[in-house]
Chains A and B, each alone.
Chain A
Amino acid sequence: MRQVVVHPERCVGCMQCMAACAAAHSQSGFLAAAIRENPLPAPRVHVGSGRYGEGFPNRCRHCDPAPCMTACLPGAIYRDRILNTVLIDPSRCINCASCAMACPFGVIRYHRDPWVSPNRAVAVKCDNCVHRQTQGLIPACAEVCKSGALTFEEPEGAMKRRTDEMARRTAGYVEQERIGEEAPGFMLLRQLKKRAIQLTE
Chain B
Amino acid sequence: MDQKRHSRKTITEDGRLMLAKSEQDGVETVWDRLEAQQPHCGYCELGLSCRICAMGPCRIDPFGEGPQQGVCGADADIIVARNLGRMIASGAASHSDHGRDLVEVLEAVARGASPGYAIGDEDKLRRVAAEYGVETEGREVLSVAGDLARAMQEDYGTRLSRLGLLSRVPEQRQALWDRLGITPRGIDRETSEMMHRTHMGVDNDWQNLLLQALRNALSDGWGGSMIATEVSDILFGTPQPVSSRINLGVIQEDQVNIAVHGHNPIVSETIMRACRDEDLLQKARDRGAAGINLVGLCCTGNELLMRHGIPMAGNHLMTELVLVTGAMEMMLVDYQCIMPSLGRIAPCYHTRMISTSDKAKFPGMEHREFHSDNAAELARELVEQAVDNFGKRNPDKVSIPSQPVDLVGGFSVESVLQALGGSLDPLLEAIKSGKIRGAAGVVGCNNPKIRHDLGHTVLTSRLIENDVLVLDTGCAAVANAKHGLERAEAAERAGPGLKEVCSSLGIPPVLHFGSCVDNVRILVLAAELAKALSQDISALPLAGAAPEWYSEKAVSIGAYCVASGIDTVLGPTPPVTGSMNVTGLLTQGLEDILGARFAVEPDPEEAARWMLSRIEGRRKGLGLDSRQV
Contact = CB atoms under 8 A, between A and B. Distances in A.
Q: Do they bind each other?
A: yes
A55 interface: no
A32 B45 CA distance: 9
A20 B66 CA distance: 14
B487 interface: no
Contacts of B41: 14, 16
Given A16-B42, A19-B42, A31-B45, A43 B63 contact: yes
Contacts of B580: 36
B39 interface: yes
Contacts of A100: none
What range describes how many residues of B lie at the interface? 10 to 19
A35 B580 CA distance: 11
Nearest to B65: A42
A14 B43 contact: yes
Contacts of A23: 42
A19 B62 contact: yes
Contacts of B462: none
B577 A20 contact: no
A15 B61 contact: yes
Contacts of B59: 14-15
B63 A22 contact: yes
A31 B39 CA distance: 11
A18 interface: yes
A34 B39 CA distance: 16
B64 interface: yes
A121 interface: no
Contacts of A144: 39
A127 interface: no
Interface residues of A, number: 19
B46 interface: yes
B56 to A, nearest CB: 12
Contacts of B588: none
A20 B39 contact: yes
B46 A41 contact: no
B577 A42 contact: no
B167 interface: no
B573 interface: yes
B577 A19 contact: no
A124 to B, nearest CB: 12
Given A31-B46, A32-B573, A32-B577, A143 B63 contact: no
A40 interface: yes
Contacts of B42: 16, 19-20, 23, 31
Contact of A15 (B39, B64, B66): B66
Interface string A10-29: 00001110111011000000
Which secondary structure dominates chain A's binding surface?
helix
Interface string B588-617: 000000000000000000000000000000
B153 to A, nearest CB: 41
B62 A35 contact: yes
A35 B43 contact: no
Interface in B60-76: 61-66
Contacts of B62: 19, 31, 35
Nearest to A40: B63
A31 B575 CA distance: 13
Contacts of A34: 63
A19 B43 CA distance: 8
A19 B573 contact: no
Interface in A34-55: 34-36, 40-43
Contacts of A32: 45-46, 573, 577
Interface in B8-63: 39, 41-43, 45-46, 59, 61-63
Interface string B554-597: 00000000000000000001000100100000000000000000
Contacts of B577: 32
A182 to B, nearest CB: 17
Contacts of B45: 31-32
A14 B43 CA distance: 9
Interface string A132-163: 00000000000110000000000000000000
A32 B602 CA distance: 14
Contacts of A14: 41, 43, 59
Contacts of A22: 63
Given A15-B59, A32-B573, A32-B577, A40 B64 contact: yes
Contacts of B46: 31-32, 35
Contacts of A143: 39
Interface in B71-107: none
B39 A42 contact: no
A132 to B, nearest CB: 13
Nearest to A140: B39
Given A19-B42, A36-B580, 8 more contacts: A14-B43, A16-B43, A18-B61, A20-B39, A23-B42, A32-B577, A40-B64, A42-B63
18 contacts: A16-B42, A18-B63, A18-B66, A19-B42, A19-B43, A19-B61, A19-B63, A22-B63, A23-B42, A32-B573, A32-B577, A35-B63, A36-B580, A40-B63, A41-B63, A42-B63, A43-B63, A144-B39
Q: Which 8 A-B pairs have the closest CB atoms?
A: A35-B62, A19-B42, A31-B42, A144-B39, A22-B63, A40-B63, A32-B577, A16-B41
Interface of A: 14-16, 18-20, 22-23, 31-32, 34-36, 40-43, 143-144
